[in-house]
């Protein structure tokens, strides 16, 4: 996983494609409103992050692309996502509703699993707030939590 300069994710993604580096830039659609109009735009799900698929001998090739800052490391170890974590992120990107990304801390509540709909099978923690139910899905090795509203009847409690 690499970090980019601020607001340079799409340009870096194009640059990586030009030099033949396999990568994934998670995007989500958001409805933006200006004074005269509304428009759906695609914005990065994680600001300044792009996932790259490279073997060790080719790690430095990403630095050929303008806008690449560094590899993401947690406690000095390069961050590597498992395929199931990438699948979670892809499912989140397919949501029709806007997803909020927050820096993760300890999320309290019951562990649940989604039983119906496009997120079926995903596990997370539930938090009740102002009579709405939010499902928090922890994405390991990132330090972020994705959150979105989900109806209570679409989840079952685990354990």
| pLDDT (0 to 100) of residue 106 | 41
Q: Could you give the number of structural domains in the chain?
A: 2
107 confidence band (pLDDT: 50, 70, 90)? very low
Angle made by CA atoms 77, 79, 83, in degrees to the nearest 5: 140
Given a cut of 50, is residue 136 above it in pLDDT? yes
Report how far residue 86's alpha carbon sits from residue 83's, in angstroms, rounded to the nearest whole number: 5
pTM confidence score: 0.71
**What percent of the chain shows pLDDT beyond 70?**
89
Given a cut of 70, is residue 78 above it in pLDDT? yes
The token duo for 125 is 């923690």
Mean pLDDT of 39-48: 90
Range scoring the smallest mean pLDDT among 25-29, 87-91, 92-96, 140-144: 140-144
| pLDDT (0 to 100) of residue 105 | 46
Identify the domain containing residue 114 by its residue range.
100-157
Examine the domain organization and report whether 26 and 58 are in the same domain. Answer: yes
Q: Tell me which of 80, 113, 134 is where a domain ends.
A: 80
Examine the domain organization and report whether 34 and 104 are in the same domain. Answer: no
pLDDT, tens digit (0-9, with 9 covering 90-100), for 54-71: 988 899 999 999 999 999
Examine the domain organization and report whether 15 and 44 are in the same domain. Answer: yes
Q: Quick one: 107 exposed, middle or buried, by C-beta within 10 A (0-12, 13-18, 19+)?
A: middle
């Amino acid at each position: 996983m690499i970090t980019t300069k601020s607001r340079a994710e799409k340009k870096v993604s194009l640059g990586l494609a030009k030099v033949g580096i396999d990568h994934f830039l998670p995007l989500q659609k958001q409805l933006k409103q200006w004074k005269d109009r509304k428009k759906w735009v695609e914005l990065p799900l994680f600001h300044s992050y792009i996932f790259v698929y490279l073997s060790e001998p080719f790690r430095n090739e990403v630095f050929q692309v303008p806008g690449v800052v560094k590899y993401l490391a947690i406690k000095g170890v390069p961050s590597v996502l498992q395929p199931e974590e990438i699948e979670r992120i892809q499912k989140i990107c397919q949501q029709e509703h806007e997803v909020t990304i927050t820096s993760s801390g300890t999320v309290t509540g019951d562990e649940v699993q989604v039983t119906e709909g496009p997120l079926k099978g995903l596990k997370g923690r539930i938090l009740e707030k102002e009579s709405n139910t939010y499902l928090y899905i922890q994405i390991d090795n990132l330090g972020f939590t994705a959150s979105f509203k989900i109806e209570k009847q679409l989840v079952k409690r685990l354990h």
